[in-house]
Amino acid sequence: MDRNTFADQPGNFSQRSRPLLGAGYPNDAHPASNSAIFDFRSVFRLLRRRRLFVAAVCILCVAITVFVHRITPKEYSATTRILLDEQVINPFGREDIFAEQSLSNPAVESQMQVIRSPFLLSRVVDRLNLSENETFMSPPTTPLRDWLAAARSELLPMLDEPPAEVSEARRFQNAVELLRSNLQVTRSAQTRVIRIQFTAATPELSAEVANAVAETYVDNRLGVRQENAERAAQWFDERMAELNVRALEVEQRVAQMSGGGVEALDASQNAASLQRARQNLQDALARRAQTQSEVLRLRALVESGRGLRGVPSNFDSEPLAALAEEVARLQSALSEATQETPQDVDEITSLNTRIESIEAAGLSLLTARLTNAQAAADAAEANLEEAQLAFDAARGASGGSVTNAIDVELRTLEGEARIYRELNERYLESYLEVVQQQSFPSTQATIIASAVVPDYPDGPGLRRLVMLAALFGIALGAGSAFALEASDGKIRSTGHLSKITQAPVLGVLPTGKSRESAASRETKRLPAISVPHRRIDFTKEVIALPEHRVSLMRSTPALHATISAPMSEYSEAIRRVNVQAENLYSILSDENSMLPKCVGFISDSYSEGRSVAAANYAEMLAVGGRRTLLIDMDWTGLYLTECITPAAQHGLAELSLTKSPGSFEQAFWYDERSSMYFLPNRTMDQKATFDPSAFDQMRLKLLISTLMEKFDNVVIDFSPMAHSSDAAAFSDVVMGFIAVVDWGETRSASLSRELRRAAIHPPKLMGSLLNGISQRDLEEYETAV
């Protein structure tokens, strides 16, 4: 197989070389081994690598938390609880004047709004004189906040404004608003227990204000009941006076008519029909009064809203009495559940639902009975009209005189007087009850838990906040570390590099102090490297250049690391490149056709490490006795040309434009120590002109092919793939490429994009070198020990 065949069929050796090239993958970096969706070991290593960053974020969060805690004023909350009693004034009932009434959810919510009302809170402010309490009126502060305010006043006095004068009324209004803003009124589940909580700067003030709000609310309810009782007593007093006046008038009228009425009645004793008619009329009057009284009583029960709770114990209805007893039992169970297990919302809700359903059934029965009573009253009214007509007819038929009319009127007046007396007795009884309960009334709310002075401020303590801040800082630091790693996209591990290039990582190239320390360590363990004097027969050399000789050992130490420290990490990585090239060369060659080895060093962007690696690889081959040529094809960097031949007058650009043998002699340089030939990129004369035709890649390919016939090994330092297409253009000439990646500088997206655009893949891509880090530092980074 000759060179042209190799150049025309670059893919013939791909399948044969893949098993050999795959042997260089690390155990945890081979693409085939990355089948796991999530690598916990990589995450753990990342966290250990970024442990300082995570610790810094954690410390920052803790510091901010401590600072905020120091400048945040402490607040103390005290809580009291009020139980709403189900009572309402009912002066017209036959039992207690203050009878029970069911408190619905809207009623309880309304009482909560009453507690937060400005009217009630203004009474609290006036009760405790809070508008004059500087602890209450002054904004809360801390020593650190005071110190910061004092420092600001000293540095920026122009920002301080003199306090404005506030009137007494406005100060009182501010106290009410401040009390309302720090007061919380909530309800315990679906119960009638109201929770009052007040927050203040001192624990004593919080407990004092909370208790004052509860007591003011209870006193307010007590005052309302007293006012209602006073109005009821006054109304009863007025009605009794009116009834007394009317009863007196009726009794006087009866006394006036008593003399003549008896004689008239004796005169008409024989009229039996008149007597029966008169009796029927009296019975109809009594029936009408009875039915109308029943209608009024039932209507009062229905319209009062008390439901079964307003039904008297002696009410002549067994179903209603049974329902009333069941409601009383459920009310007792609800009160016990509210006090003993207020957290059992389901049980409390179930009891409320059962009570409401029974109340609805009782209301239905009362409504039905009211309807029947109204019908009976209508019937009694009709019977009264019939009885009146019958009495008038009987009186006319018997020839009754005025005496009968007087008798009827007398009886009517006597019945009316009796009714007035009964009403007066009832009102008198109710009046006495109202007066008694007015002197010692019961309240509609009970304080079941008074506020005590809190021992600790609100919120978690500093220790708990520090723990939470530390946990949050660790989480934030870890998340930020992952975000930095993800957004950075720079190559820092061999596994990442092998995944991007799909080729083995042949080694690492230490630079700077790490390489010098490695070289010094190896120098102490090995004998000194001698530099014998070479006797060169220029007649047998490929190109005799006695006047263009250089000594890399003296000029640029970085370019002879493989010679000065043959057992260093750097030298070992270069030897792995040679092993990989030899393996590939053995696959592509046969006994009849020995191809020259042409290896190119590439990178995605400018890299001095790439040029240094190419020079060291060429030096290693030249020291081994092979005719080796190093070509600087980096059109943008010119690192090798500037370091090795800064006085060059000819180079690759000039050589590709001429075929004169003299130009060959002027372009090539020779290293005395390693016998390596070097072809600069172009002249370094700043005044020299540059022909654009030097970029003709066909001319350069012919030149490289000609040079490959004269040398055993050709090493080319290519321009960055992001700036030049030379690597892709010379892919059919170069046997294989070595990608040099700068640790922590090269981005994976850029390298992957340039390799894909240049169509350089294994086996054409023999491997990669990680430049800028030692093996020890790399292991510490990857394992984060």
Residue at 772: amino acid letter:
G
Residue at 626: amino acid letter:
R
Mean pLDDT in the chain?
A: 75
Does the pLDDT of residue 28 top 50, yes or no? no
Confidence bin at 80 (pLDDT 50/70/90): very high
pLDDT for position 234: 64
pLDDT for position 613: 93
Give the DSSP H/E element, type plus range, for residue 69. helix 51-71
C-alpha closest to that of 727 among 706, 766, 691, 754? 754
Residue 16 CA from chain centroid, whole number: 57
Does the pLDDT of residue 586 top 70, yes or no? yes
Rounded Cα distance between 751 and 605, Å, is 8
C-alpha closest to that of 670 among 649, 650, 645? 645
Instruction: Please tell me whether residue 607 adopts helix, strand or coil conformation.
Output: coil
pLDDT tens for 288-314 read 767 776 776 677 667 655 566 556 555
Rounded Cα distance between 255 and 245, Å, is 16
C-alpha closest to that of 116 among 217, 201, 207, 215? 217
Rounded Cα distance between 609 and 663, Å, is 30
Residue at 658: amino acid letter:
T
Pick from 31-35, 70-74, 330-334, 367-371: least confident: 31-35
> Contact, 447 vs 82, CB < 8 A?
yes
Does the pLDDT of residue 1 top 60, yes or no? no
Confidence bin at 25 (pLDDT 50/70/90): very low
> Contact, 411 vs 282, CB < 8 A?
yes
pLDDT tens for 511-541 read 765 444 544 444 444 455 554 444 445 444 5
Residues 203-216, mean pLDDT to the nearest whole number: 90
Residue at token pair 């930095």: 484
pLDDT for position 576: 93
pLDDT tens for 136-179 read 888 888 888 888 888 887 887 777 676 677 788 888 889 999 99
pLDDT for position 348: 81
pLDDT for position 103: 60
pLDDT tens for 706-755 read 888 888 899 999 999 999 889 999 988 899 999 999 988 888 889 999 99
Residue at token pair 């309240």: 443
Cα 276-281-286 angle, rounded to 5 deg = 125
pLDDT for position 561: 81
Following DSSP, what letter does each residue of 486-535 receive, concatenated? HHH-B--SHHHHHHHHSS-EEEEE--THHHHHHHHHHHHHSPPPP-PPP-
Does the pLDDT of residue 21 top 80, yes or no? no
91/332: higher pLDDT:
332
Rounded Cα distance between 509 and 769, Å, is 7
Report the percentage of the chain scoring pLDDT > 70: 67
Residue at token pair 């009334």: 441
**Total Cβ atoms within 10 A of residue 388:** 16
pLDDT for position 467: 92
Residue at token pair 């009987």: 394
> Contact, 82 vs 187, CB < 8 A?
no
**Total Cβ atoms within 10 A of residue 372:** 12
> Contact, 769 vs 509, CB < 8 A?
yes
Pick from 179-183, 339-343, 432-436: least confident: 432-436
> Contact, 560 vs 682, CB < 8 A?
no
pLDDT tens for 403-438 read 555 555 556 666 666 676 666 666 556 655 655 555
Does the pLDDT of residue 284 top 90, yes or no? no
Model pTM?
0.53
pLDDT for position 650: 81
Residues 232-260, mean pLDDT to the nearest whole number: 58
Rounded Cα distance between 543 and 754, Å, is 36
pLDDT for position 4: 39
pLDDT for position 20: 37
Question: Can you read off the two tokens belonging to residue 721?
Answer: 């793939």
pLDDT for position 756: 92
Residues 113-123, mean pLDDT to the nearest whole number: 88
pLDDT for position 242: 65
Cα 632-637-641 angle, rounded to 5 deg = 45
Does the pLDDT of residue 630 top 70, yes or no? yes
Instruction: Please tell me whether residue 21 adopts helix, strand or coil conformation.
Output: helix
Strand 597-602 with 736-742, pairing? parallel
Compute, in degrees rounded to 10, the torsion defined by CA atoms 701, 702, 708, 710.
-150
712's CB contacts (< 8 A; 6+ apart) are 596, 597, 621, 626, 627, 628
Confidence bin at 506 (pLDDT 50/70/90): very high
pLDDT for position 308: 64
Rounded Cα distance between 175 and 202, Å, is 16
Rounded Cα distance between 390 and 383, Å, is 10
Residues 372-393, mean pLDDT to the nearest whole number: 82
Does the pLDDT of residue 352 top 90, yes or no? no
Compute, in degrees rounded to 10, the torsion defined by CA atoms 82, 85, 91, 93.
180
